[in-house]
Structure 1
């Protein structure tokens, strides 16, 4: 009992110790607020439609910006302000200055300005323009200040619990210090001159006066101080330095651009996780098939970064700055259209000026002149290159999957010079002259054709010549970050299975010719009690579909499958479109069978994404699903390349989506070019890819050999080591159950999973992890790392010293993986520091179930596990602790050592349990 008492006293005392909150100010609307979610307080322009209640659910608090003594004509309440209350005009901002002395003003401000925001869920407010009365020619300072005090007192009476930040208003602070959260001031070291539109350094005299005011308030009134400075948005180094200078004074810093429309740096710094990939749409029929997406996004995802795309054939995006973007990559296979040469050159010059790292792959895309080459720190080669070429020197990152082999068509562009950065590849001509084919330079790096990637003639295979992970990290100067990992939870590789409904009505080539769907149910679904996501095609099973006579039997089988507790229900569409984005393919969405087979031949039906997606899910829910069991997943059919409109339909309806990606690496094609990305974004809508492709690819489009799907085991192994790139996903069609060889291959895949330490999940859980990968914000402060997401993705992969668990929040353990440590998170947010000499404390080593609750302290460790199969978990450094499960003592199944770590393994017969460790005090 004394250990439990000490444990809970520790938790209570820890809750009382609160550091100063991290604060950000963001008045724009182009950046999703999820990128600010690591901050405790974010001050926003409430008119931009933010949802403070939703933001509060992920741990932060939105404060609404409100101007007390100034109002612009665009405000809804402007027309209700009596003319007599307007005492001056601020020409820099185009606003009217409001007299604070009228008796009716505090109530007006409370009801007209604050009350509507309070109704929307705001509980914190940033009160600005408190000193604006000084813009008037005549004013009674004492009366104005008393008016401001009445405004604040009125807000406290009218809105109990209201939180206020004052921007300046230093003179009234002693009178209201018990009613405000903190005091803010602008331009301590660096400022923004709205009149001239320039950033400037604050004169020493002005800074010393302001510093004196702020220090007095902090010491006299015991309030936190928020110092807001302004730096040009491209200058992250100066932004970071200014924030550090403010923090060194003991103030809360926020340093951003003059309009407060960027992600600045405060007491924490958000790590940019977006990389913009610039491609040429004329090189491929769709984004899905470009080199940038097929080959480059997977390495970026694995490094923890989100890929965005910009088509050079369109206007390239403005506002690409280092607050959100870690870098830019261009990949062209040849020269782009001449009309785009100059715009691309100008755009790239702007990227270099804004100091964003740039990587150039393949061809620069346009004819470089001497001036642009010089800007890159390079010298053009000229036209007199004497063939043949040979490799003179190569960096270790070359020869990754294939050796660098010069050819006669892709000639080098640059001379090899002594000051050409860090050369990656130097080639030598017949006259002994040397040329540069790749290098790392202060602005980034480049690797020219054919030394990035080569395609194997006569096949659809390719090989990396350069190590894409190493090249991206080096050229974009990507820092080591804790990588959000969608492959793993609690140290174990994820495992799920999903089935596309194709072939549900097929007759199996087995005795009695049963329906393939019946064979699927009896031989696979009922045999393996592990999470499965199974779908049907409405046109194959419905009475109004293609097989009305078989429909009663088919629907009965579907109902029996969907009743099983380990089965999750999905739709594989209504008419199984074979081509989703028919505009890209040069087709009309309304073309029918006589013009080409683009879906199942449903009479009198024309493609409609709403009917395919929403209609098919409604059919399954109404006719096949047990009452109350959700149907929430759409499994893409055919080419699995939906356009943005189809993705929008799914997302707006609140459904999940999966399929595509075509990861099919095997020993016959042992290349990372055969491993797909996490998914693809189109117009802001995310398609989630299946981790591993289905049996259709392994069986030559179901032409044989029908046992070919057994090679999926090679894919599982090759995406698990030396890098864990994908979860295990047994993904196949119902028609695999129509042939004994196909069934045997599926059985072999399931048998292989039983030899592995895996973490079973449903497909929906994996999909939400990929969505969370795109939503997570990672930040760092002087103590360590901060992480905040939606709570679905629970693993960070970290190639460094392990987390210090004694003072970590939201971290329950870690274990070694192929590329560092997997850090186990307990929920949506985490905070931890790392230390090579961190004290060994009892921790979760691994588990095949999710953490459903967690408490940690010096007296022990408590957590709940909830999974889908009987629980297996391991504890590290817990030999001295007593372990209980649901209140009963639990003995380890066995004890082992992993390196210098002692690990105890435990098993339970059920899928949920409350685990408690009682450990002796240290």
Structure 2
């Protein structure tokens, strides 16, 4: 046993020495619940509260270079810890009332085994291999204690953990005196409050006195130099003060100490050697203004520009209690967008909430109307004119971001603007303002010290005599300037490996209808023959159970219809989806969406005796398709929403529980007749913790006036494809239609037009399921910045980031898991090769010396660069391969069998194009020494 222990100690000593020689790890200490796994993966080590349900095994599998460590208190047990009741009374030596915990005596002989069995053991079983041992010095809170005996007990605890759990990694929070005795058994030593601290008794943040700082710094430097261990300093700064947080982290890092600076209870994502980019924007809305969240003005108009710039919209209904965890670590700003006045009983709370957020330095953008009277209780420095302007009014200022899709109209007779207090006016940039007949200044839009505002009607204007709208102000510039949104590598769902994504999906409507062609075949058969046999790109095809099953509406045709569906679903380039059981029009039956007189409540296929049931529509229809129509081993993986495509949170939860991906909704349909970004929707919408993913482009129903004609109207979808690609690539190409589109000659021709347009472009064809997973990843993707550049983490399906012009291009030599880049219509698109990447960027473009992938119509299944400049990589696609490589002088491309690709051509001096008849290839770039 002694020999085994000695062997373990030697191994641990070697591991500690290796760690000390390795690069200093980045560390986060986060006890909150709101950060995503990808945000925590930005750090090499993320210490978490294990009671919050983290899965360290799955985390490590996704991000092998990052690891979750579990918090564990050694000398204290909080009142909420289940094991506290098992601790004998004789071991409880003091009470820590400030933190609601009991101080535990470290001297009992049985204590180390108890701690290993009851505290660390269950966490080890969950997969944790690293632990942050806190409260090492808490025995000093007792009135009487034997310090040497307590320290001996702590040493026994650490030795016991190393014996019981080989390979365990430990970070000590303080315990300086015992470090020389256990330095071979621990990985790191931490301490709190080097520059900034938290006074738990006074409940306030403090500057650490110089004397205390010097003593603590001496302890940390001694451990680093004498014991060759990395040291971590955890400091505390108010969460809203990101400037102070950043400055404190920098001061700590300059001392050669790993920094982590966060709030007093470590519930926010602080700043260390890595600073996570805040990607969330909270939007306040009034649910009484709109039937569903899908129809709110903020979601319809503001969320798409936010998504395009890389930001995620969260929503809060002012009719309910507003969230209290809106902090600068994860939120970049707040937007309010109300249609009118908010309920009187909520005005006081909303006003106070906004005032608190402004005082916490959170940027706020007020759009359309504030929803209540603006007065001195808000620290905005503005006053409502309340109709006080004296006509006529003359334009005083108009910024360049105005006149985006139409020029602002002259003020109406009942015009209301805001007057700005002199100090606010001096510090603000007027975007649109007017002077009245008395020379008084009224402002309709401005960038202010606290954020900004745009008042109706100078945000979005309806076009008279139409159902169309236009942006009066540039929404991208407005959001960026008022909320001070930062530029960063933007996770992009439109593109992969430099090529715009192409998907095709079909709603099951009218599968049994007869095509108006000789022989009158069923639409299902017509689609198979006319489209699927001709265009061998990925398709996602759905059916409506009640249209084709023997128990459905057409039992006399069911055998034929099921046979057609089976043949379609057996095709290798078709994935299987459900379009429900009865094709409901409404998926959300909650008020105010459904009133007593709403005739759309029961609008679906008429099935005698059937009452709408969400489980039957979703899971039931999928079970029918899987059992009767799908080939063995080919699952039904996608659910396509029907009707108004606005599912409730309950419907989304049922879909998620069934393991289904979901798609549809959004109705992006910008055309030359409707040339406005108000016709372009966001990636999707989140409800109750579930995500509805929108179809990139809407279906033919919109282009054909709800299938009333003209039936060739879907030809205009190519205009939508073009206008969502330039000047900004806003959407993937999506050929989305119903089975009834193959029932008429004109609509069939329109389909061919859409396919031929799409396939004449440089695209990357994918299944709808692949696109959906990329959108899901967008909401989980994280970006951080360190001294080496940008860190990016995601679940692994989204593999493209778009670089705004301010960032330039990737530096290939200084980047990890970046395969290349391609110039797009709105910046460079960088190709990532895994769930984790590191990227340096440069604004001055210099020709790289490394070979890289320019673009491809397939996914990179591997990318393995070598030190000599060679690269081995694999492409896996759905169609014959096309790709382009940047091959500097001395570099050449071969297949794994050392043979040239089937065809190649030179596009420029160093860029070469390649083609292959295969859909997959293993390739290698070989270069002479660089």
Q: TM-score, normalised by structure 1?
A: 0.95
Q: CA deviation at 1:143?
A: 1.9
The structure-2 alpha-carbon separation of the partners of 1:592 and 1:307, relative to structure 1 and needing over 3 Å to count, comes to: closer
- Where does residue 926 of structure 2 map in the other structure? 918
Structure 1 segment 272-291 matched on structure 2, within 5 A: 272-291=278-297
Out of 35, 39, 43, which is 2:43 matched to? 39
Out of 696, 706, 712, which is 2:711 matched to? 706
- Where does residue 390 of structure 2 map in the other structure? 386
Q: CA deviation at 1:120?
A: 1.0
Question: After the TM superposition, which of the residue ranges 848-857 and 35-44 deviates more from structure 2?
Answer: 35-44
The alignment status of 1:896 with 2:896, answered yes or no, reads: no
Q: Tell me, what secondary structure is at the counterpart of 1:914?
A: strand
Q: Are the counterparts in 2 of residues 882 and 889 from structure 1 also a CA contact under 8 Å?
A: no
The structure-2 alpha-carbon separation of the partners of 1:415 and 1:270, relative to structure 1 and needing over 3 Å to count, comes to: closer
Q: CA deviation at 1:49?
A: 1.9
Alpha-carbon distance in 2 for matches of 1:272, 1:371: 29
Structure 1 segment 255-404 matched on structure 2, within 5 A: 255-370=261-376, 372=378, 375-378=379-382, 380-381=384-385, 383-404=387-408
Q: CA deviation at 1:377?
A: 3.4
Q: CA deviation at 1:409?
A: 3.4
The alignment status of 1:239 with 2:249, answered yes or no, reads: no
Q: Tell me, what secondary structure is at the counterpart of 2:426?
A: coil
Out of 810, 815, 821, which is 1:808 matched to? 815
- Where does residue 757 of structure 2 map in the other structure? 752
Question: After the TM superposition, which of the residue ranges 693-702 and 310-319 deviates more from structure 2?
Answer: 310-319
Structure 1 segment 6-17 matched on structure 2, within 5 A: none
- Where does residue 797 of structure 1 map in the other structure? 802
Question: After the TM superposition, which of the residue ranges 227-236 and 206-215 deviates more from structure 2?
Answer: 227-236
Question: After the TM superposition, which of the residue ranges 171-180 and 667-676 deviates more from structure 2?
Answer: 171-180
Question: After the TM superposition, which of the residue ranges 411-420 and 41-50 deviates more from structure 2?
Answer: 411-420
- Where does residue 589 of structure 2 map in the other structure? 582
- Where does residue 856 of structure 1 map in the other structure? 865
Q: Are the counterparts in 2 of residues 63 and 124 from structure 1 also a CA contact under 8 Å?
A: yes
- Where does residue 870 of structure 1 map in the other structure? 880
Q: Are the counterparts in 1 of residues 375 and 382 from structure 2 also a CA contact under 8 Å?
A: no
- Where does residue 702 of structure 2 map in the other structure? 697
Alpha-carbon distance in 1 for matches of 2:721, 2:558: 36
Q: Are the counterparts in 1 of residues 419 and 441 from structure 2 also a CA contact under 8 Å?
A: no
Q: CA deviation at 1:730?
A: 0.2
Q: Tell me, what secondary structure is at the counterpart of 1:803?
A: strand
- Where does residue 230 of structure 2 map in the other structure? 224
Q: Are the counterparts in 1 of residues 38 and 795 from structure 2 also a CA contact under 8 Å?
A: no
Alpha-carbon distance in 2 for matches of 1:784, 1:548: 63
Alpha-carbon distance in 1 for matches of 2:230, 2:657: 42
How many residue pairs match? The answer is: 902
Alpha-carbon distance in 2 for matches of 1:236, 1:540: 58
Residue-by-residue CA offset, 1:794-846 (whole Å, 9 max, x unaligned): 00000222111112111010111111100000011111111235544211000
Alpha-carbon distance in 2 for matches of 1:612, 1:320: 37
The alignment status of 1:546 with 2:553, answered yes or no, reads: yes
- Where does residue 908 of structure 1 map in the other structure? 916
Q: Are the counterparts in 2 of residues 389 and 407 from structure 1 also a CA contact under 8 Å?
A: no
Structure 1 segment 645-664 matched on structure 2, within 5 A: 645-664=650-669
The structure-2 alpha-carbon separation of the partners of 1:855 and 1:31, relative to structure 1 and needing over 3 Å to count, comes to: closer
Residue-by-residue CA offset, 1:107-145 (whole Å, 9 max, x unaligned): 121112111111111111111111122222332222221
Alpha-carbon distance in 2 for matches of 1:30, 1:596: 36
Q: CA deviation at 1:150?
A: 1.2
Q: CA deviation at 1:379?
A: 5.2
- Where does residue 48 of structure 1 map in the other structure? 52
- Where does residue 419 of structure 2 map in the other structure? 414
- Where does residue 832 of structure 1 map in the other structure? 839
- Where does residue 113 of structure 2 map in the other structure? 107
Q: Tell me, what secondary structure is at the counterpart of 2:371?
A: coil
Q: Are the counterparts in 2 of residues 843 and 878 from structure 1 also a CA contact under 8 Å?
A: no
Alpha-carbon distance in 1 for matches of 2:114, 2:420: 72
Q: Are the counterparts in 1 of residues 300 and 681 from structure 2 also a CA contact under 8 Å?
A: yes
Q: Are the counterparts in 2 of residues 490 and 847 from structure 1 also a CA contact under 8 Å?
A: yes
Q: CA deviation at 1:370?
A: 4.2
Out of 633, 638, 642, which is 1:628 matched to? 633
Out of 28, 32, 57, which is 1:28 matched to? 32
Alpha-carbon distance in 1 for matches of 2:660, 2:394: 54
- Where does residue 88 of structure 2 map in the other structure? 82
Q: Tell me, what secondary structure is at the counterpart of 1:272?
A: coil
The alignment status of 1:880 with 2:887, answered yes or no, reads: no
Question: After the TM superposition, which of the residue ranges 306-315 and 157-166 deviates more from structure 2?
Answer: 306-315
Q: Tell me, what secondary structure is at the counterpart of 1:579?
A: coil
Alpha-carbon distance in 1 for matches of 2:639, 2:753: 27
Q: CA deviation at 1:83?
A: 2.2
The structure-2 alpha-carbon separation of the partners of 1:168 and 1:586, relative to structure 1 and needing over 3 Å to count, comes to: closer
- Where does residue 9 of structure 1 map in the other structure? none
Q: Are the counterparts in 2 of residues 370 and 380 from structure 1 also a CA contact under 8 Å?
A: no
Out of 483, 490, 498, which is 2:505 matched to? 498
Alpha-carbon distance in 2 for matches of 1:301, 1:586: 26
Q: Are the counterparts in 1 of residues 878 and 919 from structure 2 also a CA contact under 8 Å?
A: yes
Q: CA deviation at 1:416?
A: 9.0
Q: Are the counterparts in 2 of residues 410 and 450 from structure 1 also a CA contact under 8 Å?
A: no
Question: After the TM superposition, which of the residue ranges 682-691 and 86-95 deviates more from structure 2?
Answer: 86-95
The alignment status of 1:561 with 2:568, answered yes or no, reads: yes
Q: CA deviation at 1:85?
A: 2.0
The structure-2 alpha-carbon separation of the partners of 1:321 and 1:564, relative to structure 1 and needing over 3 Å to count, comes to: same
Question: After the TM superposition, which of the residue ranges 85-94 and 786-795 deviates more from structure 2?
Answer: 85-94
- Where does residue 100 of structure 2 map in the other structure? 94
Alpha-carbon distance in 1 for matches of 2:21, 2:820: 24
Q: Are the counterparts in 2 of residues 391 and 404 from structure 1 also a CA contact under 8 Å?
A: no
- Where does residue 8 of structure 1 map in the other structure? none
Out of 730, 734, 737, which is 1:725 matched to? 730
Q: Tell me, what secondary structure is at the counterpart of 2:224?
A: helix
- Where does residue 534 of structure 1 map in the other structure? 541
Alpha-carbon distance in 2 for matches of 1:851, 1:209: 53
Q: Are the counterparts in 1 of residues 883 and 914 from structure 2 also a CA contact under 8 Å?
A: yes
Q: CA deviation at 1:780?
A: 0.6
Alpha-carbon distance in 1 for matches of 2:294, 2:386: 36
Alpha-carbon distance in 1 for matches of 2:917, 2:577: 29
Out of 685, 691, 699, which is 1:686 matched to? 691
Alpha-carbon distance in 1 for matches of 2:808, 2:652: 40
Q: Tell me, what secondary structure is at the counterpart of 2:183?
A: helix
Q: Tell me, what secondary structure is at the counterpart of 1:721?
A: coil
Q: Are the counterparts in 1 of residues 387 and 416 from structure 2 also a CA contact under 8 Å?
A: no
Question: After the TM superposition, which of the residue ranges 379-388 and 172-181 deviates more from structure 2?
Answer: 379-388
- Where does residue 12 of structure 2 map in the other structure? none
Q: Are the counterparts in 2 of residues 808 and 831 from structure 1 also a CA contact under 8 Å?
A: yes
Q: CA deviation at 1:695?
A: 0.3
The CA RMSD measured in Å over matched residues stands at 1.9
Alpha-carbon distance in 1 for matches of 2:644, 2:386: 44
Q: Tell me, what secondary structure is at the counterpart of 1:191?
A: strand
Structure 1 segment 600-619 matched on structure 2, within 5 A: 600-619=605-624
Q: Are the counterparts in 2 of residues 650 and 657 from structure 1 also a CA contact under 8 Å?
A: yes
The alignment status of 1:775 with 2:785, answered yes or no, reads: no
Q: Are the counterparts in 2 of residues 592 and 606 from structure 1 also a CA contact under 8 Å?
A: no
Q: CA deviation at 1:206?
A: 0.3
The alignment status of 1:116 with 2:122, answered yes or no, reads: yes
- Where does residue 855 of structure 2 map in the other structure? 846
The structure-2 alpha-carbon separation of the partners of 1:192 and 1:522, relative to structure 1 and needing over 3 Å to count, comes to: same
Residue-by-residue CA offset, 1:417-471 (whole Å, 9 max, x unaligned): 6615111012233444432111111111111111111012332210000000000
- Where does residue 455 of structure 2 map in the other structure? 448
Alpha-carbon distance in 1 for matches of 2:145, 2:381: 60
Q: Tell me, what secondary structure is at the counterpart of 1:39?
A: coil
- Where does residue 671 of structure 1 map in the other structure? 676
Q: CA deviation at 1:241?
A: 0.9
The alignment status of 1:163 with 2:169, answered yes or no, reads: yes
The structure-2 alpha-carbon separation of the partners of 1:921 and 1:514, relative to structure 1 and needing over 3 Å to count, comes to: same
Structure 1 segment 423-438 matched on structure 2, within 5 A: 423-438=430-445
Q: Tell me, what secondary structure is at the counterpart of 1:209?
A: helix
> Gaps spanning 5+ residues in structure 2: where?
1-17
